[in-house]
Structure 1
């Protein structure tokens, strides 16, 4: 399996390192509009080909899959270009900043007969897998409430690193970028969404999109969820957590990458005894999932395994994010 990567910024390291661990898989080439960045990535990871021209990367016949690590607003465009060249597409989260663009990407992949994958690797964290299994097995009984808190710190200097950060066209705000994994996990746990009400604002950072907001979600099941997000927490990241309250159980997951079980109580004592301490330790907000995610992607392409998050699954969290923004804009509930 030959892989090409476009966008050699901060997240690309996780991709390069994950790909190198997979047998019978190689990085054929990389691309970035900043020449020094592309060359440095090629030298660091022994990549035989690098370029600043994405079209040239797509012409490399050895490439079967393109990994897209460019700004979020460019994901659909770069994915469509890859699909039109007959390459499978893996895009970082979110798969776009506009649902209409994401739908064009899905359509292009369908028309060209290639696969589309969206990196939502936190689903693979052991703690998250435990929670999802408990939900799917009915251990919680009826779900009553899900609460996600993302209280992080992103100083102005972070947004000033690149002119696309915090823009509506290429990045979105705290919900679309920093908290998108939490939005995905809330809807993955809760199931189909009925409606959303939200308030967002730009309180301190000099950016187009929001740095703070809160959303209330009603699920078809009757469960209610809230997602509270702020990038203004002093003096550093304070909390990233998800709490699930059900008829027969309550669980709280936290840690730097929702990787630790902070509370785990069920009426079924056997389930309760499964865990009493944090599940796994990580120093990265990206969690553990890029390695396992790439394995899943490669196996889906080569062996026909079910993908963890394909384009249509990735679309669900983007639809919820867009509904949050529409609710704030129109100051009313948005029905999905």
Structure 2
């Protein structure tokens, strides 16, 4: 990796995604890391980047930046459709890539990115920020250890009031509302987080059935961009998954997942994770017993039932340095990337997202792998 004054030299390509500012701030927290240059067509954003990160140079063209700067890696936060060309350009220069989610706007773009990374040997991390929640790996291990038996159903609900109401900048939502640049609407933007978690925890998906709609209460959306989506997944294991995603949520954003097994259930909801199980497993480190008398509904009467919960810190949405630390460690120490952020998993997530839109358009269930990317 290129170095200068013992500092790892990073560039930033694309400043239109609002995620870029927190992700860049997380990078400069890492020992030995500097952001030295940024590229974007918009002068206003280049000027902000120069002030925020103390940049040596900015460029209107990422190709010029890659040619002129001695960079070890780049942070990529452009629109989704542009990511394939950017990663291919970085790969030609032997520059490693740390990119925002999702991998691309389409499976065809994801395949281009995967091929560029493999043929060049660069390290590529696709940052699904929720995978760096402090208890994310504990839940994954609990499922792997069959703390809830065999998982037969996973549920996920995600969304917010809408990009404008949520506070996204015009630079960001100008391409979020473009189906070609974004890849769709709320599902590709929001549900991809849940898809990534499901694939990481439960394995590959083999069939998808989905519906998308535009409710019409956000009059700024083009007609071909959905603000409401529901997908049903069938995993290779035989388990089922259900995901809903929306732009138009009234009240707190419903970032919630649950995993239902033959011997227990795990529920993640608004900063608290609760595990109910009839297995005699050791308590998870740092988790506390929950009052079972407060539970209601079926299945609470088993004498073997144990309930423990953990209160998570806020999800590390790319700002607090956890994901950036893992990427830098992968470059400097050769540490493996988290499975949820590897190119192969990101590519399968993209395939599932594509299948959602194919299913919604055709009214039919779609089998995976897709026969051809489009």
Q: How does 1:194-233 map to 2 (within 5 A)?
A: 194-204=206-216, 205=218, 206-207=221-222, 208-233=224-249
Deviating more after overlay: 184-193 vs 325-334:
184-193
Structure 2 residues not aligned, in runs of 5+: 1-7, 289-308, 369-374
Query: Hey, what's the Cα distance between the residues in 2 that align with 1:21 and 1:155?
Result: 28
Superposed CA offset, 1:205-248 (max 9, x none): 322221101111111111111001111122x4431100111112
1:281: Cα distance to partner? 3.1
Query: Hey, what's the Cα distance between the residues in 1 that align with 2:318 and 2:137?
Result: 12
Counterpart residue number, 1:168: 179
Counterpart residue number, 1:299: 329
Point out the structure with max Rg over C-alpha. Answer: 2
Counterpart residue number, 2:202: 190
Counterpart residue number, 2:66: 58
Q: How does 1:15-94 map to 2 (within 5 A)?
A: 15-94=23-102
1:305: Cα distance to partner? 1.3
Q: Secondary structure at the match of 2:321?
A: helix
Q: Secondary structure at the match of 2:70?
A: coil
1:65: Cα distance to partner? 0.6
1:269: Cα distance to partner? 4.9
CA contact (8 A) 2:210 2:360 kept: yes
TM-score, length-scaled by structure 1: 0.91
- Cα distance change, pair 93–288 in 1 and its aligned pair in 2 (3 A): closer
- Cα distance change, pair 304–170 in 1 and its aligned pair in 2 (3 A): same
Counterpart residue number, 2:350: 318
Q: In the alignment, which of 229, 241, 247 is matched to residue 256 of structure 2?
A: 241
Structure 1 residues not aligned, in runs of 5+: none
1:327: Cα distance to partner? 0.8
CA contact (8 A) 1:214 1:229 kept: yes
- Cα distance change, pair 33–42 in 1 and its aligned pair in 2 (3 A): same
Counterpart residue number, 2:301: none
Query: Hey, what's the Cα distance between the residues in 2 that align with 1:289 and 1:224?
Result: 33
Q: Report the count of equivalent residues.
A: 329
Superposed CA offset, 1:237-271 (max 9, x none): 4311001111122111122xxx431x221223554
Superposed CA offset, 1:296-325 (max 9, x none): 212222222111122112111111111111
Q: Secondary structure at the match of 2:179?
A: coil
CA contact (8 A) 1:125 1:289 kept: no
1:288: Cα distance to partner? 6.2
CA contact (8 A) 2:191 2:243 kept: no
Q: How does 1:92-111 map to 2 (within 5 A)?
A: 92-111=100-119
Q: Secondary structure at the match of 2:55?
A: coil
CA contact (8 A) 2:75 2:98 kept: yes
CA contact (8 A) 2:200 2:345 kept: no
- Cα distance change, pair 28–288 in 1 and its aligned pair in 2 (3 A): closer
CA contact (8 A) 1:68 1:75 kept: yes
1:273: Cα distance to partner? 6.1
Q: Secondary structure at the match of 1:318?
A: helix
CA contact (8 A) 1:125 1:288 kept: no
Query: Hey, what's the Cα distance between the residues in 1 that align with 2:78 and 2:242?
Result: 30
Superposed CA offset, 1:168-221 (max 9, x none): 211121110122111211222221212111111122232222110111111111
Determine whether 1:134 maps to 2:142.
yes
Deviating more after overlay: 65-74 vs 54-63:
54-63
Deviating more after overlay: 119-128 vs 263-272:
263-272
